[in-house]
Amino acid sequence: MPMKPKILTTLELPSNALEKLKEYFIVEGGPDLIKDRVNLLNSLKDKVGLLTAPHIKVDKELFEHAPNLMVVSTYSVGYDHIDVTEATRRGIYVCYTPGVLSDCVAEVTWGLILSTYKRISEAERIVRARKWVKGIYKEPLGRDLKGKTLGIIGLGRIGRRVAEIGRCFGMNVIYYDIVKPSDADKLDFQYCDLETLLKNADVVSVHVPLQKETYHLIDESKLRLMKRDAIIVNTSRGAVIDEKALIKALKEGWIMGAGLDVFETEPLPLDSELLDMENVVLSPHRGSASIETRTAMLNLAINNLISVLKGEIPPALLNSDVVKVRPLNQTKVI
Ligand code: DGY
């Protein structure tokens, strides 16, 4: 019997996922590879597929160690960790997990908005510190959402869902995007430029992917445009906001607060000033962290990988141009 092709994973896979992959492949690797780049690179030599996530850089160096690689399947919708241009040039298919996590990330975004604007985390810390005293509770007072303006930066799948939920709270929704959506005229939400959005929104929520155009999109000059009683929430990628400038804004009171699920460096460095700031709600990059969503993401990532290696169009291919470099009949190994 011919030997099965080999794939590498950096994920800790549940047994049912591993069993499914083992029907077709010899599966090597695991989460320890995240901490050991040399071992990761050396493990790629004989692998046709890589199942991974944003916890590693999938760059030119990695591709150079992987002469047989035909598909990278990431267990994420974000792909800023992957050099997609280089992958395409080398005929490597790049697949991701759009759609299946939009509702979950939107719900977590709302968790952060509510916690920050209503100051729920701050209040909880008072209770836990045994400082809740008898009387009418005054501090910290939050703000009401009804009638306020929600400013969405990036009206993709997740941004749209956050916007829809904002409507249920009775908010007026405005949005900005790097490229104005083609259906902008049909939408119920008002498009505006970034400066107008920042000057008018009470709640700013960031949903653009990290790319050259969005790196530090929200810098000091942009933060200075925001209202003093506004908050900013980020569940996309940390580097879309200049974190140093944000810390300054929060310390000096240019804005009321921030709800952050993502950071420029993750895990958040132990000396980050954000850790000691009362007006910040912190969450460890868990926008998609629900049982249902993580299951759907993993299934999609696995189906993507298997499809490419069966020579079939995967459900979520990022670099469709790759077929010109390596047609699908050349990726069929199972
Ligand atoms: C995603 O899917 O991109 C999430 O942010 C997890 O990294």
The answer to whether the CB of 78 is under 6 A from ligand 1 is: yes
Mind telling me the catalytic residues? 237, 266, 285
Q: Is 281 helix (H, G, I), strand (E, B) or coil?
A: strand
Ligand 1 pocket test: which of 11, 75, 104, 288 has the largest number of ligand atoms within 8 Å of its C-beta? 288
The answer to whether the CB of 154 is under 6 A from ligand 1 is: no
Residue 130 Cα distances to 79, 127, 133, 142, 279, angstroms? 44, 5, 8, 20, 20
Between CA 334 and CA 332 the distance in angstroms is: 6
The answer to whether the CB of 76 is under 6 A from ligand 1 is: yes
Peptide linkage before 140 cis (omega within 30 of 0):
yes
Between CA 218 and CA 195 the distance in angstroms is: 10
- Ligand 1: atom nearest CA of 75 is 2
Q: What is the pLDDT of residue 289?
A: 97
Q: What is the pLDDT of residue 56?
A: 97
The answer to whether the CB of 98 is under 6 A from ligand 1 is: no
Q: Is 237 helix (H, G, I), strand (E, B) or coil?
A: coil
How much distance in Å is there from the Cα of 99 to the middle of ligand 1?
12
- Ligand 1: atom nearest CA of 262 is 5
How much distance in Å is there from the Cα of 275 to the middle of ligand 1?
22
CA 91 to chain centre: 26
Domains of the chain are 6-100+291-330 (3.40.50.720), 102-282 (3.40.50.720)
Predicted model pTM: 0.96
How much distance in Å is there from the Cα of 29 to the middle of ligand 1?
21
The answer to whether the CB of 288 is under 6 A from ligand 1 is: yes
The answer to whether the CB of 77 is under 6 A from ligand 1 is: yes
- Ligand 1: atom nearest CA of 285 is 5
Between CA 96 and CA 54 the distance in angstroms is: 11
How much distance in Å is there from the Cα of 75 to the middle of ligand 1?
8
Q: Please check whether residue 259 is in contact with residue 233, taking contact to mean a CB–CB distance below 8 angstroms.
A: yes
How much distance in Å is there from the Cα of 78 to the middle of ligand 1?
5
How do the pLDDT tens digits run along the chain, 334 residues long? Answer: 679 999 999 999 999 999 999 999 999 999 999 999 999 999 999 999 999 999 999 999 999 999 999 999 999 999 999 999 999 999 999 999 999 999 999 999 999 999 999 999 999 999 999 998 887 777 789 999 999 999 999 999 999 999 999 999 999 999 999 998 888 888 889 999 999 999 999 999 999 999 999 999 999 999 999 999 999 999 999 999 999 999 999 999 999 999 999 999 999 999 999 999 999 999 999 999 999 999 999 999 999 999 999 999 999 999 999 999 999 999 999 9
The distance in angstroms from the start CA to the end CA of the chain is: 13
The answer to whether the CB of 298 is under 6 A from ligand 1 is: no
Residue 74 Cα distances to 4, 69, 85, 163, 194, angstroms? 22, 14, 16, 27, 31
**For the chain, what is the mean pLDDT?**
97
- Ligand 1: atom nearest CA of 74 is 2
Q: What is the pLDDT of residue 1?
A: 64
Q: What is the pLDDT of residue 135?
A: 79
**Nearest CA residue ID for atom 1, ligand 1:** 76
- Ligand 1: atom nearest CA of 297 is 2
How much distance in Å is there from the Cα of 6 to the middle of ligand 1?
26
